[in-house]
Structure 1
């Protein structure tokens, strides 16, 4: 990076030096020679105007291509034009101006001072050089800004999107596609990453189906095994009632106890899947509540949400898990409502309440009590992929963070309220 900066500065200095030399070359021709015809004309005109000058009349003074001044015999300035009001004989000699005595016949009237054009030329050259260098600097800065903006759009922007995309994939969110820009060189690159996401999602879906099949097999075997176990226990109980010898009663009691033990083990096996979510690690910590707005912006990948301001507060939450909650809510709204999402936030009763509402059909009332059940999918999910875990996981994560998730059907939409503990 340092080498690139040095190279850019070197190119800038070379360009500026070239511009300055070009100005000096085209403006550097020798203008110091005097046109004696014009000088003589100016001398005669000044002699004719001298009586008026002695009366203090400076109107209608001779015009000339040269900048000049008139001094009396004592060297005092009596007339000057073009910014030479402070000229003196000593200053004219120091600057090597051309000094000509003026005579009216044999009488010396004063002196005509022709300002050395090299001095003025140097000033003009310096002004032009500074103007050109300034213009070159402005153009260089504008070109640099355009270059940086171009890099931001074609290089840095796609890499930032890839970074956010990689974080989502690492968090396990494979539903949000990566936006592809086919107008730059990274179009095919980002398309490859999105294909990877699609393949990962497909593999995860296959894994979920395999896992679901295993769970169904476990449930079926558990049911099938429970039936003969119940029969064995019932027969043992009947035989224990009719048994006369103590030894038989003890043996039948052992059979009953083992049947109960097997039944308990099968029940544990049947309900083992409900314990899988306990492996999700939640680490809530005190953080600035306003940082939640960034989580909402990241969840709104289709840019349909109207995000309000987050009140200034300190809240207790795990940013990674809260991001999962918002991702699930926004994904469900995009999938089943397809309308803009309005997000508002306020504090009260010890919680930061973040309300996300859409304007879709909502959830059928008879199915509403089941929305937080694991693996439950409503009647409106036909043709849409999913596992029925989004709201279940979100509800579980909010409880682990000391908050809650509340959902409501509205007359014109659906509302999800995320309560984060203050």
Structure 2
């Protein structure tokens, strides 16, 4: 049963049972007090009867001071002899009787042999002043029950308003805010009842909507940036190719050496165009989450040794020293060889693009986290600390003019990040301006296969 339902049932039962309980308890208490009071009064009357019998057997009627007893016990005494003649009639002091109070009469008749031998008949009338007391007790009990009911109604109204109606008002207000496009409107409610579950669901929905909105805005921004980059990045090499082709057509390059230079530049620009188009193609797959992986089980030492040997030879052709200082650890990795090769090529090319002529590639294994870790450290230009959080974003360029001249689209590191994350690894960067950068990524390995 839900907590909200329990609270409502408790409220309903308490509104019925508690006032009844208060009224019944007070009636029971008042009844006990009335019984005790009546018992005490009866005892007083018995004591008065005993006193009268004792006085009549020991003292003549003419010497009795019965009026004092009458006033003391609030009773009336009539004494007659055997012939029916009145011997004594009491006089009751009006000041001694209860005022403004209904009474119940109780009479007792008994006979006594007087001191002079006569048989006297005594009628003792007592007054029980309890009717008003009973009515007052009933009124107090019922009134107390009504007060308890009113207090309960006020208390439960405040509680339900605070725990149910107020959250519902907040939900309505938040719904209006969300409808108007304001997604920064969380609802604070800590109870774990049905309303709490609903509010947590609402906050989750609001968060997802906000994330979707942010992704959509980022998507639109990426598209705008993509169009701007394509406009500039494709126009530059195409303009160069067009210029050199026109030069060849116009006979500007008259010698074999000049023609060879023109053809070499055209080839470089077409390679640059090919690189740009490939990055855009990879980006489109990345954007659609269709970047395919063909994972295989490989030995890290065998795979990376072959990969880095090729990288070392390629670096020599570019006058870049690529060093692998230690032997590569041997563990079993599940990876896509083509994609990881793309990652390594991208990282080394990126280092060269930003001025590196020396690259150190180190590898290690983290036993506790079951990770194979690769670090690519260069002596290039480096970057400032605030740029480190941006370099894996799409279209970001640490130095835009230089990147465009060298053919960068700002997509390379974003593609690298996506590939590593699809392999279940992580990627981060460390850098210092003018002292180079280090980019590190991890790949999980099968722990049982550790050598």
* TM-score, normalised via structure 1 length: 0.35
> Which structure is larger by alpha-carbon Rg, 1 or 2?
2
TM-score (norm 2): 0.34
Tell me: higher relative CO, structure 1 or 2? Use CA pairs within 8 A at least 6 residues apart: 2
